[in-house]
């Protein structure tokens, strides 16, 4: 009887979560997922207090059509967030993964585009930092982010919350090896710029005409030596000498904004 009881529980849990789905939390993360026609949203869990906001935002777009809605208490949503301890803002969604676009397919489909900017994250693993980088990259029109598939927290509620819905607005290329990806891009006329705090050249002094990969290293150890050796240029952000370094998400935002400014104001050749 005990075994039958647990079998029923296991079957129930299996029905509750679709295969290859995961949970995201927070108003912006959930709403942007709902607005993305390429993102499958299976279920929404929300409190009575957040119901009005959801239905108001959905009124004109019909984005919650065919999505199952379940009402929960705040404590129940807190438990669904588990150890992440993030503010769900009364909204959690069960979603599927986006279809993958390969780096090769992206390059082939953008052969005529000028001044492409890609970001590569070399062993960056902190979900909050990755989410913040995704948010900044989308805000400043970066064309895509390259991550190591094995270390990318693709189902992290914390990452999706930090990205504030911007995972829906930028290509994320998951690769098995960052250096292999860099070699492929270099063979397709990309330049690799590694950001290293020990570099003497300020990134604002660099000529940004052309297609570039902006390479960032891990939060603690920085860029691996092999990756640094494979880069074409090594650049840094000049900061107050009394400050040791910037957080990677802050540093990347500064760089992205500067390059977006150059593009929008026609400082780069088309």
pLDDT score recorded for residue 19: 61
Q: How far is CA 55 from CA 2, 40, 63, 92, 168, in A?
A: 43, 18, 9, 15, 20
* Owning domain of residue 256: 103-264
pLDDT of amino acid 11:
42
- Residue 167 shares a structural domain with residue 243: yes
Query: Does residue 2 sit within a domain?
Result: no
CATH number at residue 63: 3.30.1330.30
Q: Are 53 and 123 in contact (CB under 8 A)?
A: no
Q: Quick one: 52 and 109 in the same domain?
A: no
Strand order in the sheet with 171-175: 171-175, 144-148, 117-122, 211-217, 190-195, 233-235
Domain match, 61 and 178 both: no
Q: Are residues 112 and 224 in the same domain?
A: yes
What is the model's pLDDT at position 54? 78
How far apart CA 74 and CA 70 sit, in angstroms, is: 13
Residue 23 lies in a domain: yes
**Phi, psi (degrees; rounded to nearest 5) at 163:** -75, -15
One domain, residues 193 and 114: yes
**Residue 61 confidence (pLDDT):** 64
Task: Please tell me the total count of domains within the chain.
Answer: 2
Q: At what angle do helices 127-139 and 248-264 cross, to 10 degrees?
A: 10
Residues of the chain with pLDDT under 50: 1-16
Q: Indicate if 201 and 183 belong to the same structural domain.
A: yes
Q: Is residue 195 part of a domain?
A: yes
Are residues 110 and 92 part of one domain?
A: no
| Residue positions counted in the chain | 270
Residues 107, 82, single domain; the answer is no
Query: What integer pLDDT is reported at residue 222 of this predicted model?
Result: 84
Q: Does residue 63 fall inside a structural domain?
A: yes
Residue 89 located in a structural domain: yes
Q: Evaluate whether residue 8 is within a structural domain.
A: no
Please give the C-alpha separations between residue 203 and each of 129, 165, 239, in angstroms, as whole numbers.
21, 29, 12
Amino acid 13: pLDDT? 39
């Amino acid at each position: 009887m005990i075994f039958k009881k647990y079998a029923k529980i296991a079957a129930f849990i299996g029905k509750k979560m679709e295969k290859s789905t995961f949970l995201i939390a927070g108003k912006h993360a959930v709403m942007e997922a709902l607005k993305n026609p390429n993102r499958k949203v299976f279920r929404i869990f929300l409190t009575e207090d957040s119901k009005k906001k959801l239905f108001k935002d959905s009124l004109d777009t019909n984005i919650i059509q065919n999505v199952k809605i379940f009402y929960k208490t705040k404590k129940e949503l807190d438990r669904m967030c588990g150890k992440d301890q993030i503010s769900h803002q009364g909204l959690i969604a069960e979603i599927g993964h986006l279809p993958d676009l390969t780096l090769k397919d992206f390059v082939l489909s953008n052969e005529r585009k000028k001044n492409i900017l890609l970001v590569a994250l070399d062993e960056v693993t902190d979900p909050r930092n990755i989410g913040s980088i995704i948010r900044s990259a989308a805000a400043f029109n970066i064309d895509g982010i390259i991550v190591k598939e094995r270390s990318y927290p693709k189902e992290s509620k914390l990452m999706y919350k930090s990205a504030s819905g911007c995972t829906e607005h930028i290509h994320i290329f998951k690769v098995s090896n960052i250096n292999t990806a860099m070699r492929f891009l270099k063979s397709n006329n990309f330049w690799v710029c590694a950001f290293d705090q020990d570099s003497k050249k300020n990134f604002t002094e660099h000529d940004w005409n052309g297609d570039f990969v902006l390479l960032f290293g891990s939060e603690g150890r920085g860029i691996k030596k092999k990756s640094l050796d494979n880069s074409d240029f090594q650049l840094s952000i000049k900061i107050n000498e009394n400050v040791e370094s910037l957080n990677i998400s802050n540093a990347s935002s500064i760089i992205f904004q500067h390059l977006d400014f150059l593009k929008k104001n026609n400082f780069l050749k088309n």
